[in-house]
Structure 1
Amino acid sequence: MLLAPLLLAPLLLGACSQEGDFGRPAPSAWNRLIDTTGTLAARERGTPASVYPLTDDEAVLRDRAWRFLMPADSRAAFEDALANLTRARVLPPRWRRDAIPAYHGDLISEAFRSPYSRYRRLSDDAVADGRLVPPFAAVAGRVLEADGVRLRALPFSKSLDDWDVRQAAMRVAENRCLVAWVRLETSLRIARYRYALEHFLIEMPGREAAPAEQAVAFLEGRRGLLDPLLPPDAAARCGLVEAPEVLAAPIVAKPVVTKY
């Protein structure tokens, strides 16, 4: 387990990931290094990491996941870099805290002249997320459908060996876990936005709360598009959350004396 720390050190010494249009990772040598390192680190941890090239839809899926896997609040540069390394799988997803109050704390700690700007920022963020959910769900659906074709073709491909089968299975798991991760993070964003809105109503009540509530409800409605893509327990299966404990059925003792 010495590979990850050695690879992580130079990445932390560099700047945050270079952003392109719409906050997505720019096609640069630095970002390719981060993604490659993430694949190696994920493989070392036993996380599915296939060496197969990405299809066009798989590449788009990863680009569209970018916004949801980065923090909604504007953190310090070092924490933002850690968040990007988590997004790239250099660090495991579960090291990050949910930190539901963080978004509210970020907004309220900034200097502002009017509470309207805080409500407006919350509304803009929630609506922007909501608008990005349908295109992500659409490309995720195509990727998962293609994965189904991939799996159905395996038994009929006589030239494949165990290595090929393993790489295909890992890519399918990769794709599914990425979708599960985005679905989880979208739910956490909704929780952060609602936490901020509830606290704003107490700290600085005003008419601006109504549009903010509508914006959060808009995101909640769009988030439902992600539910049919995967089973409800996908996040637990991918190790993104703790698996719920399964309670064993109580053992019912048989009566010592049976009446006939």
Structure 2
Amino acid sequence: MFDFITLGRTVLVALALATLSGCVARPVGDFGRAQPGVLHDTIMPYAGDQLARVRKEPVSDFNQTDQEVLMHDRTWRFLVAAHGKDWMFDSSVELQRTRIGRARDYQFSTDRYYTWLRTTEYRSSPTRYSTVGRHILADLDTLPATFQSICAVLEVDRQRRVALAEIGGLEQGVADNVAARRAENQWHIDWFVRALTYRYDSYDYALDHLLVETPHEQSISVDESLRRMRPWVDRANRGDFCSGATAVGTGGGVTIPSRYQTMRIDTEVVVQK
């Protein structure tokens, strides 16, 4: 039976320390990587595990493999967006990651990124297109390694199941831990898929609205980058992390016009009064 008083104190201490540290959001170090620390790596995850058990969710006592640690490191940048000033809700993401709070990313709306773009002051409007383009390219640069890390974790889960089936005499707790860790890993992979899809939809929404607000030919390169990202999104939603394909669509040599090039030009002559 859980000691709810101790649990409550643990959660309160974790949240109090997070508040005193300045923000619940996980701190970011060099190159956008998660910055290690006792609060976010030990205290908050411990409190989250206890709360997850109270909610009757699977919690594994297994140590993480190197592959699982790497997957968490690779996928983390897709769950937050420090460059967007919390447009992906960094604080709630950290509470979700540590399992102190339930999943909330289902509630994210795709207009938040565009709102951040249009309210950020730039010297010229085409710079907003450059910003979207940089963010998409940053995602594209890290997607191959991220998919490989997820594939490696799927293989680890498979090897656990094989070992469990072949080794006899193990206590029930081992089987329970295997099932719980597999559920935890799949939960994290599903979260990454939703985050990647959300990013794509947010970029797409922003590009469409920028074309209306501040039309510019620079949108052509952004549109091309977004089309390169689409196959990765499709693969993720199919659960295809291990095919080894580059996911950069060949297109058979056919160049599809960008949305800027296919815009209908208004030829109406407006008489100046």
* Residues 99 and 76 of structure 1: CA distance in aligned 2, closer, same or farther (over 3 Å): closer
Name the amino acid aligned to 1:222. Answer: W
For residues 166-185 of structure 1, what are the alpha-carbon distances to aligned partners after superposition, in whole Å with 9 as ceiling and x for unaligned?
A: 11110011111211110111
For residues 40-69 of structure 1, what are the alpha-carbon distances to aligned partners after superposition, in whole Å with 9 as ceiling and x for unaligned?
A: 333332332211110001000011111111
Q: Which runs of 5+ in 2 are unaligned?
A: 242-273
Residues 1:75 and 2:81 aligned together: no
**Bigger shift: 45-54 or 56-65?**
45-54
2:200 aligned partner: 190
Q: CA deviation at 1:117?
A: 1.4
* Residues 91 and 230 of structure 1: CA distance in aligned 2, closer, same or farther (over 3 Å): farther
Q: Please give the TM-score of this superposition, normalised by the length of structure 1.
A: 0.79
Report 1 or 2 for greater relative contact order, CA contacts < 8 Å, sequence distance ≥ 6: 1
- The within-5 A match list for 1:1-260 is 3=7, 6=12, 9-13=15-19, 14-15=21-22, 16-32=25-41, 33-71=43-81, 73-75=84-86, 79-94=89-104, 97-229=107-239
2:248 aligned partner: none
* Residues 230 and 45 of structure 1: CA distance in aligned 2, closer, same or farther (over 3 Å): farther
Tell me if the contact between 2:87 and 2:113 (Cα under 8 Å) persists in the aligned partners.
no
Query: C-alpha distance in 1, partners of 2:96/2:119?
Result: 25
CA RMSD of aligned residues (A): 2.5
Q: CA deviation at 1:140?
A: 0.8
Q: Please give the TM-score of this superposition, normalised by the length of structure 2.
A: 0.76
Q: CA deviation at 1:27?
A: 2.2
Q: Number of paired residues?
A: 230
For residues 190-239 of structure 1, what are the alpha-carbon distances to aligned partners after superposition, in whole Å with 9 as ceiling and x for unaligned?
A: 111100000000000001111111121122122234245369xxxxxxxx
Query: C-alpha distance in 1, partners of 2:53/2:75?
Result: 20
Q: Which runs of 5+ in 1 are unaligned?
A: 232-260
Tell me if the contact between 2:87 and 2:116 (Cα under 8 Å) persists in the aligned partners.
no
In percent, how many aligned pairs have the same letter?
27
Tell me if the contact between 2:93 and 2:105 (Cα under 8 Å) persists in the aligned partners.
no
Tell me if the contact between 2:70 and 2:149 (Cα under 8 Å) persists in the aligned partners.
yes
Q: CA deviation at 1:8?
A: 5.5
* Residues 69 and 11 of structure 1: CA distance in aligned 2, closer, same or farther (over 3 Å): farther
